Amino acid sequence: MTSETFDVVVVGGGPCGSTVSTLVAQQGHRVLVLERERFPRYQIGESLLPSTVHGICKLLGVTEELAAAGFPIKHGGTFRWGSNPEPWTFDFSLSQNFAGESSTGYQVERMKFDKILLDNARAKGVEVREESTVVDVIEEDGRVCGVRYTDAAGERHEVRSRYVVDASGNTSRIHGHSGGKRVYSDFFRNLALFGYFEGGKRLDPPYSGNIFAVAFEAGWFWYIPLSDTLTSVGAVLLPEELERVQGDKEKALLGLIEQCPLIADMLSDATRVTTGVYGDIRVRKDYSYLQERFWKPGLVLAGDAACFIDPVFSQGVHLATYGALLAARSLNTALAEGTDIPEETAFSEFEHRYRAEYARFHDFLVAFYDMHQDEESYFWKAKKVTSETTPAAESFVNLVGGGASQEGALVDPEAYTARATAAQELSAAIDRRVEGAGNQEILNTSLVRSIVKEGHQIQIQAALGRSDRPTPPVRDGGLVPSADGMHWSLPTPKEA
């Protein structure tokens, strides 16, 4: 058995693993990623939020590559949900946090997206080994200090490291080493049945790249355009429907589509993909959970290894990459020469902020599933969950865009330097969209109109103010991001 030493070993090369490894390697540390599969590999989770695309991906330096990949641009979400029988749309550009060009997400084929991120990690100095399956964690005196893995030839290896990051997703086999259990949600016990179609219809521009989410009797459908012709279609079902998906999956999916006229209409000229990687109809269940502990000495859990909730707001990759950023700050702080911040303090900050972001989405989603409320009620729930002082519709857009954490690093740094112009463009865009809204009643509410009217000043103020403003800790005795956003610092008296 061979044995080597790294500063950090990251288990899993999905968005979480490639993000944390890149952000740590860029600080000069030796990082190894061990990935079970050979990329490109299939993964669900195709609808991305602006915070991932214009925040994390920009920090990673893959903006141009993503743009060149030609992924459909997502301006927001279109929902047939709640008491309103007509579909309604929200647009990320309503939020001052996602000003100008930073107000869009992408719909991605994860095979392509994840490979871009993993190749980028390699290019930024991370040692990446694919077809390398971690089978065990090495622990000595209560501290995790490495892993054992098997390579493609079945040969066993041992790697020692100061830290191990579990970014191995929902199938993680090492999360239990954190000393806590995986606690499954009582509320979100849904299951998902999904496949792919060629030739489905598109929503009208500019929202042809939006995710279309349609509630129906048995649950709700996602309809995600992955290219001009390819569409990801999935039904999220109540747990009572389990029996239905255990038999003929194709029959079950087509039967559900028939039950949902809006989705049936979108697919009326489409054919199901039956060959290749998109030819399978897949099922996922038991995907809403939270680890009791996110870290212990020598080990950090992030991404789906730590937590996931229901996919209705497409926040999985956001949570995974946001968790990766927080973990990277803690790792970089702990690995820094002569740091005056104890390990416990650095990793508690990571866990506190990560849990808070999870909790915001969780609480809001609980409210969102209460379909007896109309969309204004959802807005008000979002406001309550995020404790924001902005008008409620904007809180909603912030929350579903992944911007409620108030993390400067999650929004496009350049949009904050080019600020006034972007904010003014945003206001103009909102004006245009509201006036020509068609069936977008949601944007025509007096609430949103008042944002548009009030918006100019608030947006400009927020956009201009962020980088000059001290960032207060999010809790008493907490840490703040360093100026470069890649470590934690003790707050200055001005910030505290």
What is the x/- site pattern for ligand FAD, positions 245-284, by CB under 6 A? ---------------------------------------x
Question: How far is 100 from 426, CA to CA, in rounded Å?
Answer: 5
Main-chain phi, psi angles of 282, to 5 degrees? -110, 160
Residue 157 near residue 3, CB atoms below 8 Å: yes
Nearer to ligand FAD, 91 or 304 (CB): 304
Four-point Cα dihedral 184, 189, 190, 191, nearest 10:
60
What is the x/- site pattern for ligand FAD, positions 289-308, by CB under 6 A? --------------xx---x
Nearer to ligand FAD, 50 or 87 (CB): 50
Q: How long a stretch of residues is the chain?
A: 496
Say whether residue 122 binds ligand FAD (CB under 6 A).
no
The three-class DSSP label of residue 430 is helix
Q: Which stretch binds ligand FAD (CB under 6 A): 166-174, 261-269, 441-449, 477-485?
A: 166-174
One of 37, 139, 286, 376 touching ligand FAD (CB under 6 A): 37
Nearest to 320 by CA among 111, 126, 44: 44
Nearer to ligand FAD, 150 or 489 (CB): 150
One of 90, 98, 287, 294 touching ligand FAD (CB under 6 A): 287
Say whether residue 43 binds ligand FAD (CB under 6 A).
yes
Block residue for tokens 């006229």: 261
Minimum distance from residue 434 beta carbon to ligand FAD (Å): 27
Nearer to ligand FAD, 118 or 145 (CB): 118
Nearer to ligand FAD, 37 or 127 (CB): 37
Say whether residue 227 binds ligand FAD (CB under 6 A).
no
The three-class DSSP label of residue 226 is coil
Nearest to 392 by CA among 429, 461, 446: 446
Say whether residue 195 binds ligand FAD (CB under 6 A).
no
Do the bridges between strand 182-184 and strand 289-291 make them parallel or antiparallel, or are there none, so unpaired? antiparallel
Number of residues that bind ligand FAD (CB under 6 A): 37
Question: How far is 142 from 149, CA to CA, in rounded Å?
Answer: 21
One of 7, 45, 58, 398 touching ligand FAD (CB under 6 A): 45
Minimum distance from residue 450 beta carbon to ligand FAD (Å): 31
Say whether residue 16 binds ligand FAD (CB under 6 A).
yes
Within 10 A of 122 (CB to CB), how many other CB atoms are there?
16
DSSP 181: P
Say whether residue 169 binds ligand FAD (CB under 6 A).
yes
Minimum distance from residue 56 beta carbon to ligand FAD (Å): 12
332-351 burial, b at 16+ Cβ within 10 Å, e below that, comes to bbbbbeeeebebebbbbbbb
Minimum distance from residue 186 beta carbon to ligand FAD (Å): 18
Amino acid at 105: G
The three-class DSSP label of residue 166 is strand
Minimum distance from residue 73 beta carbon to ligand FAD (Å): 15
Minimum distance from residue 232 beta carbon to ligand FAD (Å): 8
Residue 105 Cα to chain centre, angstroms: 11
DSSP 382: H
Say whether residue 87 binds ligand FAD (CB under 6 A).
no
Q: Both tokens of residue 6?
A: 């790294």
Residue 109 Cα to chain centre, angstroms: 15
Q: Which of residues 313-372 bind ligand FAD (CB under 6 A)?
A: 314, 316-318, 320
Q: Where are the alpha helices (DSSP H) in 26-180?
A: 50, 57-60, 63-69, 110-123
Nearer to ligand FAD, 38 or 475 (CB): 38
Nearer to ligand FAD, 192 or 256 (CB): 192
Where along the sequence are the contacts to ligand FAD (CB under 6 A)? 11-17, 34-37, 43-48, 133-134, 167-171, 173, 192, 284, 287, 303-304, 308, 311, 314, 316-318, 320
